[in-house]
Amino acid sequence: MNAELDLVAQVRSQFPGLDQDVHGKPLIYLDNAASSQMCVAAIEAVDHFARHDRSNVHRGAHELGQRATQAMEDARAVVQRFIGAAHEDEIVFTRGTTDSINLVAGSLGAMFSAGDEVVITEMEHHSNIVPWQLLAARAGIKVRVAAVDDRGVLDLDGLIGLIGPRTRLVSVAHVSNSLGTVNPVGEIIDAAHDRGVPVLLDGAQAIPHVLVDVASLDVDLYAFSGHKVFAPNGIGVLYGKRELLRTMPPYQGGGEMIDEVSFEGTTFAEPPARFEAGTPNVSGIVGLGAALSWLMSQDRAALAAHEHALVEAADAMLAAMPGIRRIGTAPGKQGACSFVMEGVPGADVGTLLDMQGIAVRTGHHCTQPLMRRFGIDGTVRASFSFYNTMDEVEALERGLHKVRRMVGGA
């Protein structure tokens, strides 16, 4: 236990954003599924880049241009190691998960024809629904949706049954942002590959919580965001297998992504440059590299065990509390505890917790079809990171009792 306290104290010291009062109360930050706090390593790397190395990348003949280019390519190598990719050129920098999925829809999707199908699930974030609906409107593809049960567990057989001769892609969340459900991605990938279909995983919630190794998963495409993994906003990653990326056409045109341009025709750079048109978010890239390097220097297994204990404690606390309905009770869930308080609108719960310094998120969490599946408009979601503490879980419990007393009733 002492070792755990030491571990958490040490890790909390790396997150200056946690150390503040809100409404006169110490901040208890339980909105990590929306954005985690930034670690010192990332803050300092961004600051250092701005003070010393700021320049555009690639064509600079001068020292700062070379430093910026080096910093960007070093960060690419860090991302490669972090997710276990075989090659550096399999790492494409994007603006985030949403941008990564839109890249796939715009590029791989440009090779789909009317009647082709993309298989998703009922628990997807809007960013893994709407790009496919736009492609459906543009190119006449069909979106097939696999169901989830009352616990928030994916109907795996149902999903596999949807993979047919016209399926061009299976695109699913690795971990659900609303429910915390961890999907059986290994089985999904095996089943899709048996049928010759590639798989895109939305890893926005998995990357902060689960050790991801894209090579051993044998996943074809993997998307995640920096701001959920202790790094800056506006930066993210699309991993793609080298052979697959090389078949994919550009989806945006501009500088950096070309081989040679003429008015008769233009040839394109090899990946990843082909998908990185324009000046990249170098400062975000540098911050992402620093955050992931810092994470790799930590005892991630111990941090994950601590975090999982927090989620289990919070879940047990909510299960025992009268007038609370938990949404998402999948075994082994990660990160998020979603619930509704009977008789109290979620927004009110959120506001009354905020007055006590407790930050949670309320609403549909960009998963409206999933909310509809559970017959609700939204939930209150407490989402955890390894820098949270058991004391904070207890504070959430006291906070919810206080909310109940303030609104009256059961």
Ligand X SMILES: *Cc1c(COP(=O)(O)O)cnc(C)c1O
- Residues of this chain that interact with ligand X (CB under 6 A) are 96-98, 125, 127, 173, 177, 202, 204-205, 225, 227
For the bound state, the minimum distance from the C-beta of residue 208 to ligand X, rounded and expressed in Å, comes to 10
Nearer to ligand X, 204 or 344 (CB): 204
Give me 80's structure tokens.
Answer: 């490669």
Strand, helix or coil for residue 154: strand
Q: From the CB of residue 3, how many other CB atoms can be counted at a distance below 10 Å? A: 9
User: Could you tell me the sign of the dihedral formed by the alpha carbons of 346, 351, 355, 358, in that order?
Assistant: positive
The residue (of 98 and 356) whose beta carbon lies closer to ligand X is 98
Q: Cα separation of 350 and 348, whole Å? A: 5
| Catalytic status, residue 39 | no
Shortest distance (Å) from residue 262 CB to ligand X? 35
Catalytic residue among 18, 366, 376, 390: 366
Nearest to 293 by CA among 96, 74, 94, 86: 74
How near is the Cβ of 228 to ligand X at its closest, in Å?
A: 6
Residue 112 makes CB contacts below 8 A (sequence gap 6+) with 118, 135, 139, 141, 168
Contact 324, 400 (CB under 8 A): yes
Q: Which is nearer to ligand X, 205 or 389 (CB)?
A: 205
CB of 204 to ligand X, least distance (A): 3
**Taking the complex as a whole, how short is the minimal distance between the CB of residue 70 and ligand X, in angstroms?**
27
Q: How do strand 361-363 and strand 167-173 relate by DSSP bridges?
A: unpaired
Distance CA 369, CA 122 (A): 7
Burial class of residue 54, CB neighbours in 10 A (0-12, 13-18, 19+)? middle
Shorter beta-carbon distance to ligand X: residue 97 or 388: 97
167/334 with CB nearer ligand X: 334
Instruction: Kindly list the catalytic residues.
Output: 366
